[in-house]
Amino acid sequence: MLKIHPIPAFKDNYIWILHDENYAAVIDPGTAQSVIDYLNCKKLQLISILITHHHNDHTGGIIELLNKFNVPVYGPHNESIPTLTHHVKENDEIKLKELSLTLKVLETPGHTTDHIAYYGANKTKMLFCGDTLFACGCGRLFEGSAQQMYHSLQKLTNLPDETGVYCTHEYTLENIRFARTVEPGNLTLLEFETTAKELRKQNIPTLPTTIRQEKATNPFLRCDQPEVIQSACTHLGQDFCEPSRIFSTLREWKNHF
């Protein structure tokens, strides 16, 4: 049985570890010790490290893990992460034989220029999207443009509705606060807020989310919805704004929210 387990790290990161009874692959290990502890506790052998982008909170644990395990490290084609052994790009497939799992690479520039996500279309569909898509939010634009990020998010929304979305930060409540301001009439969002608050009170992750839920609640994926358009225009102080400007307006607005 394949398990996908979040290892909390730093203030609000999750390091996702995919494993069965024997083998494990880890995504974005920003730190090593908690990963090693988990592997030891469950008696797992690490077989692979997968990286979505170069930021330290996603890569900081690689060296220490490599000191203990001689495993391949997959990551984006052009980003300089010296510890990568395999540079991957759009549509490349990573076969995790021991876990009977294939992950496909999706290029999702925006947060960084060469950010990638990993999609598994096995029986249970899963997406490891790094800092591109968050529950009710999206990553900041550190290197890419709003247009790039918009297209990356569109690409992710084309995945099957039931896909589990494993984001790397617990930003959900903060994102919902913004989303509610943008779209106060969204009842699904209101329901999600209640659920998410309850989970956080018990210190349970609000993740994974799903593509279906994100399409229903995430303002950054809802730039064609009348209430979202209206809010963005009002924020800009205009009666009308170009559809292409809605996303960048929301992103800009959220930066200062």
Asked if 54 touches Zn ion (CB under 5 A), the answer is no
Of 92, 87, 82, give the one whose Cα is nearest residue 56: 82
Dig out the tokens for 3 from the structure. Answer: 């398990």
169 is annotated as an active-site residue: yes
> Which position among 19, 28, 54, 58 bears the catalytic label?
58
C-alpha distance from residue 248 to each of 138, 179, 200, 233, 245 (Å): 12, 15, 29, 11, 5
Give the 3-state secondary structure of residue 154: helix
Choosing from 79, 131, 170, 183, the residue that interacts with Zn ion (CB under 5 A) is 131
Minimum CB distance to Fe ion, residue 206 (Å) = 16
- Alpha helix (H) residue ranges in the chain: 33-42, 56-59, 62-68, 146-157, 172-182, 187-201, 211-217, 226-236, 243-255
- CB of 44 or CB of 167, closer to Zn ion: 167
- Alpha helix (H) residue ranges in 162-255: 172-182, 187-201, 211-217, 226-236, 243-255
86 is annotated as an active-site residue: no
Place of tokens 């790397």: 168
Give the 3-state secondary structure of residue 160: coil
- CB of 12 or CB of 37, closer to Fe ion: 12
Of 75, 82, 136, give the one whose Cα is nearest residue 107: 75
Choosing from 19, 55, 169, 180, the residue that interacts with Zn ion (CB under 5 A) is 55
- For helices 146-157 and 243-255, the axis angle rounded to 10 degrees is 100
Minimum CB distance to Fe ion, residue 60 (Å) = 11
Asked if 114 touches Fe ion (CB under 5 A), the answer is no
Residue 107's CB is within 10 A of a number of other CB atoms, namely 20
- CB of 57 or CB of 193, closer to Fe ion: 57
Interface pattern 39-68 for Fe ion (x via CB under 5 A) = ------------------x-----------
Minimum CB distance to Zn ion, residue 42 (Å) = 27
5 is annotated as an active-site residue: no
28 is annotated as an active-site residue: no
> Which position among 28, 54, 115, 131 bears the catalytic label?
131
List the single partner that 28 binds among Fe ion, Zn ion, none, CB under 5 to 8 Å by kind: none
Please report, as ranges, the residues that interact with Zn ion according to CB under 5 A: 55, 131
Task: List, by residue number, the catalytic residues.
Answer: 53, 55, 57-58, 111, 131, 169
Q: Please report, as ranges, the residues that interact with Fe ion according to CB under 5 A.
A: 57, 131
